[in-house]
């Protein structure tokens, strides 16, 4: 039984780099989701991310109120992703957002980022699904 568990773990670890190579970095792509302190108060979020070979780069909410992702950090073994951004609202006010999320369903093309989003003193849950 221990040998079987060892072989399955070894196979999974062997396959992990191959999975990344097939689609590029696991965070690369366009992600849509939302965050909020409760089920009724939600804010839509769009992320467009890329991997430059060293860092995750990207834009939060592309368009007139877009914000560059700052202080990105991807902990590959834990599948944890951290980023910060200065978020602009419709009136032009800026507040700082801090996001910590885990990649779920890594092998699925439409994997998820699930975690917490803190902005302007408000903390809530966050979930985004990769489009492509």
pLDDT digits (tens, 9 = 90+) for 36-54: 999 999 999 999 999 888 8
| CATH code, domain with 64 | 2.40.128
Please count the other Cβ atoms lying within 10 Å of the Cβ belonging to residue 22: 9
Q: Of the given ranges (12-16, 76-80, 101-105), which has the lowest mean pLDDT?
A: 12-16
**Count: domains in the chain:** 1
CA–CA separation, 49 vs 77, rounded Å? 19
Quick one: average pLDDT of 52-79?
92
Asked whether residue 89 is domain-assigned, the answer is yes
* Whether residue 68 has pLDDT greater than 70: yes
Asked whether residue 85 is domain-assigned, the answer is yes
The whole domain housing 63 covers: 26-130
Q: Which residues contact 104 (CB under 8 A, 6 or more apart)?
A: 79, 111, 112, 113, 114
Asked whether residue 42 is domain-assigned, the answer is yes
Quick one: average pLDDT of 80-90?
92
Asked whether residue 5 is domain-assigned, the answer is no
Name the percent of the chain lying above pLDDT 70.
81
Asked whether residue 46 is domain-assigned, the answer is yes
């Amino acid at each position: 039984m221990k040998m079987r568990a060892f072989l399955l773990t070894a196979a999974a670890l062997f396959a992990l780099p191959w999975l990344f190579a097939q689609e590029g970095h696991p965070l690369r792509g366009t992600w849509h989701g939302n965050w909020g302190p409760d089920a009724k108060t939600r804010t839509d979020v769009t992320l467009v991310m890329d991997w430059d070979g060293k860092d995750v780069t990207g834009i939060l909410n592309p368009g007139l109120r877009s914000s560059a992702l700052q202080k990105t950090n991807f902990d590959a073994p834990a599948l944890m992703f951290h980023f910060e951004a200065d978020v602009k609202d419709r009136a032009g006010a800026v507040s700082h957002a801090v996001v910590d999320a885990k990649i779920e369903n890594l092998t699925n093309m439409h994997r998820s980022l699930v975690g917490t989003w803190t902005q302007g003193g408000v903390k809530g849950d966050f979930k985004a699904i990769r489009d492509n």
